[in-house]
């Protein structure tokens, strides 16, 4: 049975995206990059909603990503990816499957049928849906030392409380703090 892991970065005031989807405020220091690469080498299946998928595929396939962060670009481009979308016809990023089915039912089946863990990167609406359905096994949240004042909350529209237990924390030299939680 596989696990679902959420990996997201947020501002001090709880936003994972700033106004107009801006994420330029996230600090991508060397330590954070090493941590991210270490996580990618675990060969999880990456899960995305359409908007995050289009942003990630556009960036990680670019010459800028391949020259600026070659090792991570190689891992991201190699990874198996699933994008949930009602409108996307096919993926333009290698190793991508597009699922148009009920995503909660699909993930319940996938958790039972495979051994590979799955990681949600970004994709706030999917995080909220899966959290409400009790499908997420671990939350890895990187908190950046910045307050945005407005943006999109990580659990936007969540209809019930989510009780979590801290299982690990780590501070990076940049001031970013990683918090790992599991549902209680």
Q: Which two tokens stand for residue 179?
A: 């918090």
Three-state DSSP state, 112:
helix
Rounded CA gap, 18 and 93, in Å? Answer: 26
The Cα-based distances of 124 to 16, 63, 96 in angstroms read: 8, 27, 19
Residues in the chain, how many? 184
- Is pLDDT above 80 for 25? yes
Q: What residues form DSSP beta bridges with 144? A: 11
- Is pLDDT above 80 for 68? yes
Report the pLDDT value the prediction gives residue 164, as an integer from 0 to 100. 97
pLDDT tens digits, 9-20: 999 999 999 999
Report the pLDDT value the prediction gives residue 9, as an integer from 0 to 100. 93
Rounded CA gap, 40 and 37, in Å? Answer: 5
Contact partners, residue 75, CB within 8 Å, separation at least 6: 37, 40, 41
pLDDT band at 87 (very low <50, low <70, confident <90, very high): very high
Report the pLDDT value the prediction gives residue 28, as an integer from 0 to 100. 76
Please compute the mean of the pLDDT values over residues 40-62 and round it to a whole number: 92
Please compute the mean of the pLDDT values over residues 65-75 and round it to a whole number: 92
Domain ranges of the chain: 4-183
Asked whether 118 and 4 are in contact (CB, 8 A), the reply is: yes
- Is pLDDT above 90 for 183? yes
Please compute the mean of the pLDDT values over residues 165-173 and round it to a whole number: 97
> Which CATH code of 3.40.50.1100, 3.30.870.10, 3.40.430.10, 1.20.810.10 fits the domain covering 4-183?
3.40.430.10
- Is pLDDT above 90 for 181? yes
Is 28 or 106 the better-scoring residue by pLDDT? 106
In sequence order, which ranges of the chain are alpha helices (DSSP H)? Answer: 30-40, 50-60, 63-68, 70-78, 103-113, 124-132
Report the pLDDT value the prediction gives residue 29, as an integer from 0 to 100. 84
Asked whether 165 and 182 are in contact (CB, 8 A), the reply is: yes
pLDDT tens digits, 111-166: 999 889 999 998 888 999 999 999 999 999 999 999 999 999 999 999 999 999 99
- Is pLDDT above 90 for 82? yes
Mean of all residue pLDDT scores within the chain: 93
Report the pLDDT value the prediction gives residue 80, as an integer from 0 to 100. 95
């Amino acid at each position: 049975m596989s696990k679902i892991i959420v990996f997201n970065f947020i501002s001090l005031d709880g936003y994972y995206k700033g106004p107009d989807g801006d994420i330029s405020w996230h600090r991508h220091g060397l330590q954070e990059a090493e941590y991210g690469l270490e996580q990618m080498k675990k060969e999880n299946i990456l899960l995305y909603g359409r908007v995050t998928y289009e942003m990630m595929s556009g960036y990680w396939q670019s010459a800028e990503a391949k020259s600026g962060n070659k090792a991570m670009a190689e891992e991201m481009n190699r990874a198996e990816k699933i994008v949930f979308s009602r409108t996307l016809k096919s993926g333009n990023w290698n190793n991508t499957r597009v699922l148009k089915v009920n995503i909660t039912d699909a993930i319940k089946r996938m958790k039972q049928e495979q051994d590979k863990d799955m990681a949600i990167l970004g994709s706030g609406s999917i995080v909220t849906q899966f959290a409400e359905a009790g499908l997420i096994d671990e939350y890895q949240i990187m908190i950046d030392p910045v307050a945005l004042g407005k943006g999109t909350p990580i659990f936007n529209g969540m209809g019930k409380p989510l009780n979590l237990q801290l299982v690990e924390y780590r501070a990076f030299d940049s001031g970013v703090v990683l918090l790992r939680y599991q549902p209680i």
